C-alpha cells in the first residue's frame, strides 16, 4: 500500500517532464538585433547562372596538344577557391585520369575537400597543371599521388592502377575522365594515326584501367565515366571523338548491369561545352573558340567546377541507388 504523502518515481519524472515541456513550449526564441534567431544560418545569396562566369567572345591563345589550363584566358574555375567541402567522402580513395585540368581537376579538388585521398594521372607535358592540383589536395591534409604517363599504352594502364592502390592504400573510386579531342572538318582529314590515338585514349584506356582496378574495388565502390553531349548530338567536325563518347555512354550502362550484383555502381557525366584546355589545344577551331558556349541557352560555356558536385554525388554513398545513369550539364542543351 502506497502512503498518501509519497509519490511514485514514475509520477515524479512524469510531472517533471510535463513541466519542462510546458516551459520549453512557452519560451519564445528571441531574435538578436539583426532580426535573426540564435544559431540561424545566413541564407546563400542567389546567383544568376547566365552571368556567374565569363561569356564570349573570348581571346584565349591556341596551344599545342594537350594544352594547359594555366595558359588559358580567362583561366578555368576548377573550384580552387569556390568549392567548399562537407566531408561526404571521408576516408575514400580515388583515382582520376586526366586529373590535371578540366573536369578531372575539378573532381580531384572536390574529392579532397570532401575527405578523400586522390591519385591523378596526366601526360608528362601537363606537369605544371598537375603540380597545382597535387598541392591543393595536400593542402586539405589528404594523400595526393601523382602518376604521369600515357594511357594509350596497356602496360602503363596496369602500372597506373598498381601505383594508385599502393599510394592510396586501396581504391574505391575510379573516374575515367582523360580524353583526346581534335577537330577535323572532314573524315578525309582524319589520319589512321589520329583515329588510333583517339580510340586508344578514349576507349582502350578505360577498358584496360577498369580491368586492372576491379580486383581492388570492394562492394560500395564506384566507377564514373566522363562522356559528353557529343554521344547523342555529335558535331560534324568531331567524327572520331563523338563516337568514342557514344561508346563511353554505352559502357556505363552495360558495366553497371554487370557489376551491380557485386555492389559496384557505374555512372557517367555528360558535359556540354566546358571551358577546358581540350578546346584551345585542337579540340575546337580558333573561330569556334572565340564564341565557345555562346549558343547555349545560358549563353556561355560551363566551368569545370560546375560539374564537381555531380562527380561527388555519384561517388557518395548516399547516392547508392543510382547506377547505369548519365547526368548531363550542358547549359540548357543536351538530353540525359
pLDDT digits (tens, 9 = 90+) for 76-126: 999 999 999 999 999 999 999 999 999 999 999 999 999 999 999 999 999
Question: What percentage of the chain has pLDDT greater than the value 90?
Answer: 86
Cα 5–chain centre separation? 70
Please provide the average confidence, as pLDDT, over all residues in the chain.
90
Q: Taking a C-beta distance cutoff of 8 angstroms, is the pair 268, 248 a contact?
A: yes
pLDDT of residue 13: 40
Q: What is the mean pLDDT of residues 187-192?
A: 97
Mean pLDDT across 297-321: 97
- Kindly provide the residue ranges of all beta strands, DSSP E only, lying in the chain, ordered along the sequence: 93-97, 117-122, 144-148, 173-176, 222-226, 265-271, 326-329
The residue ranking higher by pLDDT, 150 or 31, is 150
| Integer Cα distance of 168 and 156 in angstroms | 18
User: What is the model's pLDDT at position 271?
Assistant: 96
- Annotated catalytic, 241? yes
Which of 212, 217, 200 has its CA nearest to residue 266?
A: 217
For residues 163-185, give the mean pLDDT.
98
Note the pLDDT of residue 333.
Answer: 86
Q: What is the pTM of this model?
A: 0.88
**Catalytic member of 241, 311, 321, 327:** 241
pLDDT of residue 335: 72
Residue 155 is predicted with a pLDDT of 98
| Whether residue 116 has a cis bond before it, omega within 30° of 0 | no
Q: How many CA atoms lie within 13 A of 184 on its CB side?
A: 17
Mean pLDDT of 306-310: 98
Return the residue matching grid coordinates 575510379. Answer: 174
pLDDT tens for residues 28-82?
A: 444 445 555 566 778 889 999 999 999 999 999 999 999 999 999 999 999 999 9
The CATH number that domain 91-329 falls under is 3.40.50.720
| Residue 4 pLDDT level (bands cut at 50, 70, 90) | very low
d(CA 15, CA 75): 66
- Asked whether the beta carbons of 62 and 279 are under 8 A apart, the reply is no
| Residue-wise pLDDT tens digits, 205-231 | 999 999 999 999 999 999 999 999 999
Q: What local confidence, expressed as pLDDT, does residue 167 receive?
A: 98
Tens-digit pLDDT profile for residues 245-262: 999 999 999 999 999 999
Amino acid at each position: 500500500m502506497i502512503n498518501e504523502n509519497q509519490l511514485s518515481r514514475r509520477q515524479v519524472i512524469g510531472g517533471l517532464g510535463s513541466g519542462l515541456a510546458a516551459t520549453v513550449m512557452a519560451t519564445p526564441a528571441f531574435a538578436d538585433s539583426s532580426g535573426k534567431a540564435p544559431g540561424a544560418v545566413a541564407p546563400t545569396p542567389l546567383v544568376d547562372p547566365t552571368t556567374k562566369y565569363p561569356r564570349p567572345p573570348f581571346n584565349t591563345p591556341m596551344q599545342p596538344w594537350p594544352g594547359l589550363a594555366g595558359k588559358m584566358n580567362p583561366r578555368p574555375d576548377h573550384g580552387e577557391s569556390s568549392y567548399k567541402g562537407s566531408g561526404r567522402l571521408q576516408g575514400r580513395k580515388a583515382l582520376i585520369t586526366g586529373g590535371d585540368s578540366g573536369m578531372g581537376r575539378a573532381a580531384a579538388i572536390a574529392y579532397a575537400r570532401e575527405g578523400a585521398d586522390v591519385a591523378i594521372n596526366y601526360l608528362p607535358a601537363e606537369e605544371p597543371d598537375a603540380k597545382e592540383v597535387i598541392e591543393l589536395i595536400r593542402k586539405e591534409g589528404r594523400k595526393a599521388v601523382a602518376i604521369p604517363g600515357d594511357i594509350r599504352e596497356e602496360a602503363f594502364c596496369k602500372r597506373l592502377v598498381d601505383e594508385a592502390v599502393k599510394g592510396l592504400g586501396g581504391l574505391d573510386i575510379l573516374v575515367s575522365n582523360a580524353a583526346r579531342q581534335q577537330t577535323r572538318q572532314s573524315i578525309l582529314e582524319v589520319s589512321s594515326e589520329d583515329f588510333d590515338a583517339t580510340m586508344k585514349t578514349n576507349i582502350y584506356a578505360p577498358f584496360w584501367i577498369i580491368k586492372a582496378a576491379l580486383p581492388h574495388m570492394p562492394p560500395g565502390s564506384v566507377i564514373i565515366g566522363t562522356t559528353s553531349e557529343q554521344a547523342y548530338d555529335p558535331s560534324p567536325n568531331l567524327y572520331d571523338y563523338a563516337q568514342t563518347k557514344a561508346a563511353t555512354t554505352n559502357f556505363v550502362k552495360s558495366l553497371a548491369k554487370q557489376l551491380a550484383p557485386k555492389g559496384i555502381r557505374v555512372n557517367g557525366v555528360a558535359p556540354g561545352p566546358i571551358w577546358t584546355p581540350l578546346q584551345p589545344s585542337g579540340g575546337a577551331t580558333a573561330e569556334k573558340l572565340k564564341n565557345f558556349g555562346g549558343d547555349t541557352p545560358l549563353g556561355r560555356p560551363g566551368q569545370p567546377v560546375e560539374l564537381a558536385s555531380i562527380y561527388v554525388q555519384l561517388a557518395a554513398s548516399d547516392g547508392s541507388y543510382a547506377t547505369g545513369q548519365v547526368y548531363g550539364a550542358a547549359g540548357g542543351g543536351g538530353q540525359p
